[in-house]
A and B are shown apart, each in its own frame.
Chain A
Amino acid sequence: MPYHNLKALIKAIRACKTFADERSLIVSESAAIRASFRAEDSFTRHNNIAKLLYIQMLGYPAQWGQIECLKLVASPRFADKRLGYLGIMLLLDESQEVLTLVTNSLKNDMNHSNMYAVGLALCTFANIASEEMARDLCNEVEKLLGSSNTYVRKKAALCALRVVRKVPDLHDHFTEKAKALLNDRNHGVLLSGITLVIEMCQQTEECLDEFRPMLPLLVRHLKSLVTTGYSPEHDVAGITDPFLQVKIIRMLRLLGRNDAQASEKMNDILAQVATNTDSSKNVGNSILYEAVLAILDIEADSGLRVMAINILGKFLSNRDNNIRYVALHTLNKVVTMDTNAVQRHRSIVLDCLRDGDISIRRRALELSYALINESNVKDMIRELLAFLAVADNEFKLGMTTQICLAAERLAPNKRWHIDTVLRVLKLAGDYVREEILSAFVRLVCHTPELQSYTVSKLFMALKEDVSQESLTLAAVWIIGEFSTTLMEQGVYDGNESRPVTDTEVVDLLETVLHTPYATPVSRQFVLASITKISSRARTTEPVRQRIAGILESYETNLDLEIQQRAVEFAALFGQTGIRAGVLEEMPPPEVRSTVVGVVSENKPVGPTAPAKDSTLVDLMGDEPAVAAPGGASAIPAQANEDLLAQIFGGSTSSAPPATTTPAGNSKASVNDILGLFGSTSVAPAAPAPAMSSPFDALGSSGGSASLFSTAPATQPARAAPAQKSPGYVAYDKNSLKITLNPQVSAQRPGVVLITARFEVAGSVPAQGVNFQAAVPKTQQMQMQPMSNTDVQPGATETQALKIVAPPGANIRLRLRVGFTMGGQTIQDQVDFNGFPPGLTGSAS
């Protein structure tokens, strides 16, 4: 049953209770309309199309009515024509074939004697014209641009805009007419005209040049809009035609871009707009906003620029979210141009992080990243960390990355850097990139003085929360690596430190293994970690058994990777000969793989002592508080580092006597090369055999041998590819000559690898050579043990040093050497700064 008119249909549809009812009603109505179309009933056509358009608006198919719309357009009745064009605009768009049939109707109507019909045709054309149609009707549009009727002119201007958008080549048809439009007194025409010109100018440089002379005219227009008082026809909240003002300013922006002369001409009017526009309402702000955009884009003088940024600053403190939104959006764009001006509004930007609107938060966040610099890094990161705690999850990944990168770039000190990353891991451990995680591990490994602090922090953090994946991974790895430190130094719980037992550590790691948050990766980490712990001297036998048990239970794990690890680690348990060596602490990860003389025990000079941060005691300015031990010469090679460590640490805490037997020394961190290979309880044997045997063992076990392939490099790495400099004589007295051979690499400025060569001049061997070195506080040094502490005549012994200095710094060394020659003990100390400047790279 068809409804007799549109109103009845709408009512019926609204009365439908369910979606199914509505659907069936529309299906039957559509069928009725279609039947009526087939009957070619021209009287009901209008009614039917109206109903059909309503049906279409509800989202039902109505494409089949297109042709009927065309018929309606051809009708002489204006009401039919109007509805027909409406139907065409709704049912057709530029991508449809049927559109070609409309071209002719449009052409006829554009030449119609009735201005209203012309208006309809222009309106339809402007909304749906295709490329082909634009070419066909270009001439008609051009003609109508000159019409005496303002209504037709303004519509024609927008039709021309459509033509230019579809076929940019046709712009020259409109250039002259467009200039005339810019002189039009009617606001509607002027507005449409400027819109057209903006489009043309954006398309080609040529058009832009064409319209450059119109600048004074546009400035005049804008001036009269700004200065005229109340004009009722175009007034919006006390401002005369804001839409036109916005368009003119946008046009000025195009003309002033990269054109100092034009910018100069519009400076005054833009300043006037910026100062005189009322900023209490949205209308005024829309103009101010456009003016700011223009000022920032053109070659404005600096005063005007500052004014623009201050307007944005004022926007930021506006209560209206829309205004804040555009301010942040714009500041984001200018922050790279003029960071200092934006920097002044930092606190308001940070306040916006707490805004209720996520898009404002997002923009404030982006802006905050850009505002971080050396001087405010602590404050900014503190704010960002506070925000990270409450931030939307979608922000977290970006935030953790940005915070950690900023911390790495700008950290005032290592302690702060480590604290920052720790905090990030605690707050958003599930949203941390792998790169950030490995950078953190690298940082910890390269910061021996803070290792005990870091490991204790991580231990506590992991105890509280095992659900943050990255925190878990970082903690598990670092606890495994530095378990000895952890057990020796205990954890700082509040202010006092509390000892940690091996059982406690393994308990915690086992928790990680069994928590529902565990991932295959974190399980793998745990397995590797407990295996390492099992080989540390501090670990007791029952715990070792327990670790073996855990490994065994994973030997049948369904995850292949875990299973493989468990099986391999368990097998390693049996290989007592090599186990300790394989599981020794890792060398701090390097970006570059070729490092002179590095075996796996890349020991820092200072002990990871309770002795505060400054393990790198500055010998330069320091009285050598502890007299160099005279008995040192009697101690074999491995004592070198122990001694040095104790000299350094000794001034601050009660150091054990320097002559303690090294084998009994519990400090694994200053362990010697022999302890690495032999089981720790075995007293070190003579160096040579001890070294050769583990290599044999390794060779037979294959696989991990590559780890040690650089081992023979305890001899000078003559083949190292890095740039080599000639040697510098640092010491040449008492028949002992020490030459320093620095090596630098372009990829890692600031890192200098030095090979010290020891030769004796006479025929008497120097025995028990003890070579020590110290660097200024700003630099760090690591030393390898000497290849042989007894220097035979004619032989050359070596020792490797690695110094990390800030780029541009001079390497200065204080060297102390002690040895016995011909029964005579010799002690000496020299300062050396003979390296050429620029060794550490140029200061950046």
Chain B
Amino acid sequence: MIRFILVQNRQGKTRLSKWYAPFDDDEKVRIRGEVHRLIAPRDQKHQSNFVEYRNYKVVYRRYAGLFFCLCVDSNDNELAYLEAIHLFVEVLDSFFENVCELDLVFNFYKVYAILDEVFLAGEIEETSKEVVLARLEELEKLE
């Protein structure tokens, strides 16, 4: 199961954080810092996209200046979660039409809504991009 999801830029500013397990506020701040320091200096080309973190594993992927990190259990299938990150990013990209960091900043509440359509309770919920996008469109109309 996913313990938390973080989207951070290269400076370590958090653009999205979702916690599926309870952590208190101080702990959250610490984790953000630790994960950033763990991931940012890693070599994109020559290093794997998995890092051990505490008793878990962080599966991350970098898109332009943004790191998408999933913290998962150590016996989970890392490769599948890597693919899940890509699915999420594809949905974001379709939704915002060529997504950039600022889209995530100004529309952070929408990003959370998208996240909740792809991941729920720390598990992958929907794997079809079309289904997610159709659903989001309907929700937009209701606003």
Binding site for B on A (CB under 8 A): 6-7, 10, 14, 50, 53-54, 57, 59, 61, 63, 78-79, 82-83, 86, 89-90, 93-95, 116, 123, 126-127, 151, 154-155, 158-159, 161-162, 187-188, 191-192, 195, 233-234, 236, 241-244, 246, 250, 282-283, 285-286, 289-290, 293, 321-326, 355-360
Contact = CB atoms under 8 A, between A and B. Distances in A.
Given A158-B121, A326-B79, A357-B43, 14 more contacts: A86-B112, A123-B116, A126-B121, A187-B127, A234-B127, A234-B128, A286-B79, A290-B77, A321-B47, A323-B79, A324-B48, A356-B43, A356-B46, A359-B51
A63 B17 CA distance: 16
A438 B113 CA distance: 63
Interface string B15-59: 111111011110001001000000000010011111110000000
Where chain B touches its partner, the secondary structure class is mixed
A246 B121 CA distance: 18
Given A82-B139, A94-B22, A322-B49, A243 B125 contact: no
A243 B128 CA distance: 10
A155 B50 contact: no
Given A83-B109, A325-B50, A233 B77 contact: no
Interface stretch (B63-71, B91-99, B130-138): B130-138
- Per CB-CB distance, the 9 closest pairs between chain A and chain B, nearest first, are A286-B79, A356-B46, A126-B121, A321-B48, A325-B48, A357-B47, A286-B80, A93-B22, A158-B121
A246 B142 contact: no
Given A79-B143, A188-B125, A321-B46, A233 B138 contact: no
A286 to B, nearest CB: 3
Contacts of A116: 138-139, 142
B123 A59 contact: no
Interface in B99-143: 105-106, 108-109, 112-113, 116, 120-121, 123-128, 130-131, 135, 138-139, 142-143
Contacts of A356: 43, 46-47
Nearest to B135: A151
A286 B78 CA distance: 8
Contacts of A285: 79
Contacts of B47: 321, 356-359
B82 interface: yes
B90 to A, nearest CB: 9
A228 B123 CA distance: 25
B57 to A, nearest CB: 10
Interface string B83-94: 110010000000
B46 A236 contact: no
Contacts of A159: 121
A6 B32 CA distance: 24
A200 to B, nearest CB: 13
A236 B25 CA distance: 37
A40 B108 CA distance: 26
Contacts of B19: 93
Nearest to A159: B121
B109 A242 contact: no
B83 A282 contact: yes
B139 to A, nearest CB: 7
A222 B130 CA distance: 22
Contact of B46 (A86, A123, A187, A357): A357
24 contacts: A7-B106, A10-B106, A14-B105, A53-B109, A59-B14, A78-B143, A93-B22, A95-B24, A116-B142, A127-B20, A158-B123, A161-B123, A191-B124, A191-B127, A234-B127, A236-B87, A236-B127, A246-B77, A250-B77, A321-B46, A326-B50, A357-B47, A358-B47, A359-B52
A321 to B, nearest CB: 4
A161 B121 contact: yes
